[in-house]
Amino acid sequence: MRRLLTFIHTSLLFTCVYANAAVVLQYHHVSDDTPTITSISPKDFQAHMDYLHEKQFNVISIEQLIEILGSDQTIPDNSVIITFDDAYRDILDNAVPTLKHYDFPATIFVATALVGSSSHYLDWSQLQRLQDAGITMANHTVTHTHLLRMLLNENQETWTQRLTKEVEDAQTDLEKHLGVTDKIFAYPYGEYNRDVADLIRKLGYIAFSQQSGAIGKSTDTVILPRFPLSGAYTDLSQFKTKVATLALPLENRFIDPIATDNRPQLHLKLVNTDQSLARLACYGPGGPTHIEHLNAHEVVATPVKDIPIGRSRYNCTLRHQSGRYYWFSQPWIRKNPDGSWYEEP
């Protein structure tokens, strides 16, 4: 009887966590003629949307997600949010028709200085038409700058002032042209550190990055994860796994991504001690990391190779009894050995 009661308790616990997750998808270009690293083909994008429709995923707006996270509501199972960064023209040409066909809501994160700056970017009138059709517009700074990088002769105070202006001026632009008042933000390049995230929190924004993983009720709302779906990450079989992922319920979710060591350690601890990380797997440079089990619900992951210069991440997964996976990703940012910033590829 005790074994049966333990099984029922564990099943109920996992069912609660299992249902309490949402997945945010991140796209940039939807085109065959744009840089591969930031693009998905229209054919592959269509396949993603077809799959969401066929499997009856609960595609919700970003506003619905934010409302749920700020309330006592649980996140409906199989919830998915669709987002695009940078307001490229090919979103209108190659993604919107499919979104309209399925009546899927979506969000475009707009760097406002780029709006209408060339034929590659949507202009304000096009953004207005898309907004009228139900697509949410949100903040991606004014110039799509690297928020972490201080300019020459800049100090902490002037850097903070410049970052505040980048974010708040973009919000002013969105309100002026489109009437946007909701404070929803995405970090350019997915780059943040504790100071940047604290500033975004102080300014009152809900913020999204580019580390992969699912969102749960305990996820920090200034570093909400999204699954990047460009370049090598557009395959449908991988997509099927990612959209079904669950949020790993962790304590101390904010870990500053600025690497002070070439092989930074990742310390993870579950909120609920009734669960176990015994079968957790984490992957970094060189493949599977070394995992030290401090106890059943607390581990430290260390890569077998140095993380590269630039942006990288560890992906950690734990198989759920349903066959789905809990998924947590930790981004890392490593400067050049001399302390200077790396160049973009």
- For residue 289, the domain's CATH number is 2.60.40
Same domain, 112 and 226: yes
Same domain, 199 and 316: no
Position 16 scores a pLDDT of 43
Same domain, 186 and 101: yes
**pLDDT tens digits for range 208-247:** 999 999 999 889 999 999 999 999 999 999 999 999 999 9
For 152, other C-beta atoms within 10 Å of its C-beta total: 4
Taking alpha carbons only, the member of 19, 45, 48 closest to residue 243 is 48
- CATH code of the domain covering residue 42: 3.20.20.370
| pLDDT tens track, the chain, 345 positions | 333 333 233 333 344 444 479 999 999 999 999 999 999 999 999 999 999 999 999 999 999 999 999 999 999 999 999 999 999 999 999 999 999 999 999 999 999 999 999 999 999 999 999 999 999 999 999 999 999 999 999 999 999 999 999 999 999 999 999 999 999 999 999 999 999 999 999 999 999 999 999 999 889 999 999 999 999 999 999 999 999 999 998 986 789 999 999 999 999 999 887 789 999 999 999 999 999 999 999 999 999 999 999 999 999 999 998 899 999 999 999 999 999 999 987
Domain range for 55 = 22-244
Same domain, 231 and 289: no
Same domain, 156 and 231: yes
- Contacts for 253 with CB less than 8 Å, ≥ 6 apart: 218, 219, 220, 223
Between the alpha carbon of residue 316 and those of residues 39, 201, 213, 214, 227, the distances in Å are 25, 26, 9, 12, 14
For residues 319 and 302, the answer to whether their CB atoms sit within 8 Å is: no
Does pTM surpass 0.75?
Answer: yes
Cα separation, 225 vs 66, in Å, equals 13
- Number of domains the chain contains: 2
Position 154 scores a pLDDT of 96
Does residue 10 fall inside a structural domain? no
Position 218 scores a pLDDT of 85
What are the structure tokens assigned to 165, written together?
Answer: 């202006």
Does residue 9 fall inside a structural domain? no
DSSP state of 71: S
Of 244, 276, 308, which marks where a domain is finished?
244
φ, ψ (nearest 5 deg) of residue 70 = -95, 10
Does residue 345 fall inside a structural domain? no
For residues 309 and 285, the answer to whether their CB atoms sit within 8 Å is: no
Same domain, 226 and 308: no
Same domain, 177 and 34: yes
